[in-house]
Structures are given as C-alpha cells and as structure tokens.
Amino acid sequence: CCCCGEAAAGGGERGAAWGLYLRIDRQRLQCLNERREGSGALVFRAWEERGDRAQFVESDDDEELLFNVPFTGNVKLKGVIVMGEDDNTHPAEMRLFRNIPHMSFDDTAREPEQTFSLNRDPTGELEYPTKIARFSNVYHLSIHFPKNFGAETTKIFYIGLKGEWTEAHRHEVTICNYEASANPADHKLEQITPQTHFIS
C-alpha cells in the first residue's frame, strides 16, 4: 500500500515536470502537413492525459510533420517525449530547431540544434534529453519529424516538453533626439553688462 502511494506521488511529480505545454502560445502554434486542421495542437497536453488516444495528429501528403511551437516567455528545454502507435506510423527521427519563427519545410534543410533517432514508444515513457546549453533561451521551438518506420503517414498521440519557463522581459522603446549642432536659441545666457570704474 505504501509503495502504491509513493508511486502515485512520483507520477505526480513526473507529470509536473512536463508542464511546458501550459506555456505554449496556442493561438500561434502551427503544425504543417497535418491531415486534420488544428489536430497538431492537441498532442501538447498534460503528461497524465497522454494515454487519450482520441487526440492525435496524422500527417497528410507524406510522412513528414513540422511543428512551430511559440512560447509565452523564455524556456530552458531539458527533454522531449514522443508517443506514437506501436507500428510503422511512429516517427523514427526528430530534429529540433530553436528561435526560427514560421519555419517551413524548405527551412529544414539547415542544420538542426539536435537530432534524435526515436524508438517506438506507445506508452509515452521514453525521454530524450536535450543539450541544455543549446536550448537555454528558447522562445520558439520547431520540431521536425522527417520520417517514420516505413508507413505512408506518421501518427503522434503526445509530445511532452520538459524544462523551465521564465517571463520574457519586454524592453520599452526609448526615443532620443540628438542635436547635430547646438541651437543658440536653446542656450540663452544672461546678458552681462560690463561695468567700468573710473579712478580720479
């Protein structure tokens, strides 16, 4: 009985660690090549809800999927979980890019920050740790799945993001005017009247 309680507590702590989905700007989240519009956003949810197989994203024209994930602040990304089906529709590779808003499939030709070879994970337990030094100041994350294990389409049920979030510091714009040369009208001096003293 005690062990069960500890396991439950451990699960709760683990679930809390995967809370970055709460820091996603969902209004601007994009999934390219999704079969059903808006389905890509559904895979970013609570770790405890990862087993909900009614919510998933499936690719459309081929096996590629590309997620553009903007955050509401700055993130230090520490790990990723990718949960799919236990078949060939599970993604086989994941490539992460940071701070490239509105990324397209053409942009994926560039070198990613990190690439992972994925294993089939139908339960959402396998964690892929990131190189934290490369993902310590992320305001936009792009996740590219270029291939799966051989199926025509790719299917993903859950993507978990682990890390730390800090509020973005917005700097107010300061408008400064500089003079190229001094304007004498701005620098009026008291008129000095010379005084003459005669000695007789």
- Residue 16: pLDDT band with limits 50, 70, 90: confident
Say how many Å lie between the first and final Cα of the chain, rounded: 118
Distances (CA, A) of 196 to 192, 193, 199: 13, 10, 10
Please tell me the pTM assigned to this model.
0.79
Domain ranges of the chain: 11-166
Beta strands in 51-196 (DSSP E): 57-58, 65-84, 93-98, 114-117, 127-129, 138-145, 155-167
* Helix, strand, coil content of the chain in percent (nearest 5): 20, 30, 50
Is 67 in a helix, a strand, or coil? strand
Q: C-alpha 78: how far from its chain's center?
A: 12
- Residue 92: pLDDT band with limits 50, 70, 90: very high
- Fold designation for 11-166: Jelly Rolls (2.60.120)
- Residue 135: pLDDT band with limits 50, 70, 90: very high
- Residue 199: pLDDT band with limits 50, 70, 90: low
